[in-house]
Amino acid sequence: MEPDQHRAACELLYRHWSDGTRLEELPPGLRPCDRAEAYRVQACIEDFSQAPLYGWKIAATSLAGQRHIGVDGPLAGRLLAERIIDDGGVCVLGNNLMRVAELEFAFRMAGDLAPRGEPFSQDEVLARVAALHPAIELPDSRFEHFERAGLAQLVADNACAHRFVLGPATDADWRAMDLAAHPGRVFRNDLLAEEGVGSNVLGDPRIALTWLVHELSRHGVVLKAGQVVITGTCVKPLAIAVGDRIEGDLGILGRVSVTIA
């Protein structure tokens, strides 16, 4: 694919995203052949935003999630500033196909991590983190049958990024905690709906963050200071419907909520 084809593929996906419509698959001439080409398509989405890139999401950080969409590992997607919802705010469900909420650990970066030849250690990555937040992601796909779209099309589709809610930064000493063992709970209309643990996120949210740094480095992308990384759901994705109030609880690390309209 040539650069104009990357942009045309991204423009097609973005138009469906904006209109709340779907397609079966990308046309053959606009379909990326592998992960690297898919990220080149995805990168064009930044041209449709009026603000600097807000951050990144990681999809399919659990084996169950990977099996559901037919991939063999996580995927990275871009978070656009226009798609953030204030903590306690309202998300219009609209034509959302997935209709789930996911509770996530989110890291805000304090310094850049630029691509390099050798791997980053987890300690190096964590040293560049400014804060930890609770977050809720409300993903969606532009493909009618996203579970059959395949890795390259899903990456091009921004790894099913859609809406997300960022809670306040925790004032707890999260660096001294075992995040893999840390529990998470999700409430629907004040009733406990799902429970999980940090190890559901690629074994540990810190491992997931380090994976994201390596993924971006492999594809020549800088993880920038100020950007937020939501690391994947620590609970089973919770089915949502209009009228639901969803609250994510990471205990001492904080709470985050959203109402579905």
The pLDDT assigned to 107 comes to: 99
Is the pTM value of this prediction over 0.85? yes
The pLDDT assigned to 144 comes to: 96
Which ranges of the chain would DSSP assign to H, the alpha helix?
3-19, 35-43, 63-69, 122-127, 151-156, 205-218
Q: For the domain covering 51-260, report its CATH number.
A: 3.90.850.10
Q: b/e map of 224-258 (b: 16 or more CB within 10 Å)?
A: beebbbbbbbbbbbbebeeebebbbbbeebbbbbb
For residues 256 and 87, the answer to whether their CB atoms sit within 8 Å is: yes
The pLDDT assigned to 112 comes to: 98
The pLDDT assigned to 199 comes to: 98
The pLDDT assigned to 248 comes to: 98
Parts of the chain with a pLDDT under 50: none
Express each pLDDT in 31-64 by its tens digit.
999 999 999 999 999 999 999 999 999 999 998 9
List of residues 6+ apart from 163 with CB closer than 8 A? 83, 84, 85, 91, 137, 138, 140
The pLDDT assigned to 257 comes to: 98
Q: Mind spelling out the 3-state secondary structure of 66-92? A: HHHHCCCCCEEEEECHHHEECCCEEEC
Token couple for 16: 């469906």
List of residues 6+ apart from 18 with CB closer than 8 A? none
Express each pLDDT in 177-212 by its tens digit.
999 999 999 999 999 999 999 999 999 999 999 999
Token couple for 156: 């091009």
The pLDDT assigned to 213 comes to: 98
The domain segmentation of the chain, as residue ranges, is 51-260
Token couple for 229: 């990384």
